[in-house]
Amino acid sequence: MLIDTHCHLDYIIRDGSDIDDIINKSSLSGVDKIITISTLTEKFDEMILPIINKYSNVYCSIGTHPDNVDIDTFDYEFALKKCNDFKKIICIGETGIDLYRPDSNPSLKNQRLSFEKHLELGKNINLPTIVHSRAAEQETIDVVSNFKSNKIVMHCFTGSLDFARKCLNLGAYISISGIVTFKNASEIRELLDFIPLDRMLIETDAPFLAPVPYRGKQNQPAFLKDTAIYISEYLKLEFEKFAEIITKNVNILFNI
């Protein structure tokens, strides 16, 4: 069994895909559970809630992506109420800091304020916080280091070895996406030897970042198995053993 810890089923629906078919294919590939990640808190009832209500094996987060903080201020009280009302909300985010496009990204100040509110909620109700960090390694550490008791997931990790070390020292889990299968992703592959297996997660980030051999196509949770096979072969582990370890990590962290 595998669990996709990060995808965006609402985006897949928006693209016009048959979500019933997507969910069925994931189950057939051995991806038995899915966590669909919120990027707009104010759209949670419209974009996320119908999905988790329809599919028994789909869970979710609630939060505002750092790129969206200027158009969707994270409403702490709204999110808290939703977490209390819907037990299938098992994490907060995705939140974080993205400075990759300084001309178009929201200001660091606004991103940081939103990030801190997400972390505060995660701390207060003991749910993991899903962190997006791009071109903002030190800025991310500066914030997360003030929330050392939080459960943290560094999603779709593409950072440096030093950043990985700092995240691990703060107790974070590091999540690897299908990028690791790309020919030019040697630095991410090198991280596989550094990240303790009991602190590793895997994800699709679907519909983005489809792994080889699907690169360039729409990603989907079913393709998580390809990433898992690739990593297990790289680490010279039996696939079943690797899947067992990663699934145990997910069960411990997300309590599912």
Angle at 170 between CA 167 and CA 171, to 5 degrees: 95
Burial 144-180 (b: 16+ CB within 10 A, else e): beebeebbbbbbbbbbeeebbebbbeeebbbbbbbbb
Q: Is 187 annotated as a binding residue?
A: no
Q: Is 94 annotated as a binding residue?
A: yes
How far is Cα of residue 46 from the mean position of the Cα atoms in its chain? Answer: 20
Q: Which residues does 224 contact at the CB level (< 8 Å), separation at least 6? A: 2, 4, 26, 29, 31, 202, 203, 204
Q: Which residues does 216 contact at the CB level (< 8 Å), separation at least 6? A: 210
The phi and psi torsions of 114 (rounded to 5 degrees) equal -65, -45
Dihedral sign, Cα of residue 250, residue 113, residue 108, residue 9: positive
Q: Is 8 annotated as a binding residue?
A: yes
* Rounded-to-integer distance, Cα 233 and Cα 83, Å: 38
Question: Is the Cβ–Cβ distance between 164 and 195 less than 8 Å?
Answer: yes
> Using N-to-C axis directions, what is the helix angle for 137-144 and 108-125, rounded to 10°?
40
Question: Is the Cβ–Cβ distance between 85 and 147 less than 8 Å?
Answer: no
Q: Is 118 annotated as a binding residue?
A: no
Q: Is 65 annotated as a binding residue?
A: no
Provide the token pair at 193: 């030897």
- Residues of the binding site: 6, 8, 94, 132, 155, 205
Binding residues for a divalent metal cation, as ranges, are 6, 8, 94, 132, 155, 205
